[in-house]
Structure 1
């Protein structure tokens, strides 16, 4: 059982560190491409096509974006709501400042690096325990 266990721990170490580092790089690139999102106060209005939010951007222009089903549930019956608008783009908004994709990639990368670290520590413990 000793050599098989050592092989499995070695595989977990390499996969943990390798895949974790790769996903951390992907998360960094996704974070950079996500751009800058600034907080704005938006007015929620009902139109013939559903609820929309309208806000002023940094240049003084008026922007408008429709609310999807999940955003409608979060906004509820509020007449004004704090949103995040993409700097340099028109009519782009979301309810969170950070991207859920970037967060998921970063958490997965941290989990894999944690797996690699635990496997490395376990490998060292078994090395000295057998010695």
Structure 2
């Protein structure tokens, strides 16, 4: 029975640290490719295909993006909103500065690294309590 617990702890520590590091690397790549998002104030208006938001970028250009259903619900009844637009990208905006996908992958990597730490601690405790 002791060898089974040791093997399970060893497997979870390797999987936790190894897979956690790989997923953290993926999160880093996603963060880099996500780009820079700058804050601005957008004006909401009704367009021919639904509600749109218009804003000025840092170069003084006017941008426009159609709102998704989730964004429409979040901004219901507002005529202006604080938004984030992508530097260098025309017509791209979102309501949060950080990407929810990048955040989810980063939390997954932290969870896997946590599993690795707990498994390593369990393995060390078992090693010293048997001796």
Asked if TM exceeds 0.5, the reply is yes
Instruction: Name 2:45's counterpart in structure 1.
Output: 45
How far, CA to CA, are the matches of 1:68 and 1:28 in structure 2? Answer: 27
Instruction: Name 2:87's counterpart in structure 1.
Output: 87
| 1:117 is aligned to 2:100 | no
How far, CA to CA, are the matches of 2:114 and 2:68 in structure 1? Answer: 36
List structure 1 segments (4+ residues) > 6 angstroms apart after TM superposition: none
Instruction: Name 2:5's counterpart in structure 1.
Output: 5
Unaligned 5+ segments in structure 1 are none
| 1:76 is aligned to 2:76 | yes
Deviation sequence 1:89-123 (CA, Å, 0-9, x none):
11000111001111011000000000000000010
| 1:96 is aligned to 2:131 | no
Instruction: Name 1:28's counterpart in structure 2.
Output: 28
Structure 1 length-normalised TM = 0.98
How far, CA to CA, are the matches of 1:28 and 1:35 in structure 2? Answer: 12
How far, CA to CA, are the matches of 2:128 and 2:49 in structure 1? Answer: 68
Q: CA RMSD in A?
A: 0.5
How far, CA to CA, are the matches of 2:110 and 2:103 in structure 1? Answer: 11
How far, CA to CA, are the matches of 1:106 and 1:68 in structure 2? Answer: 25
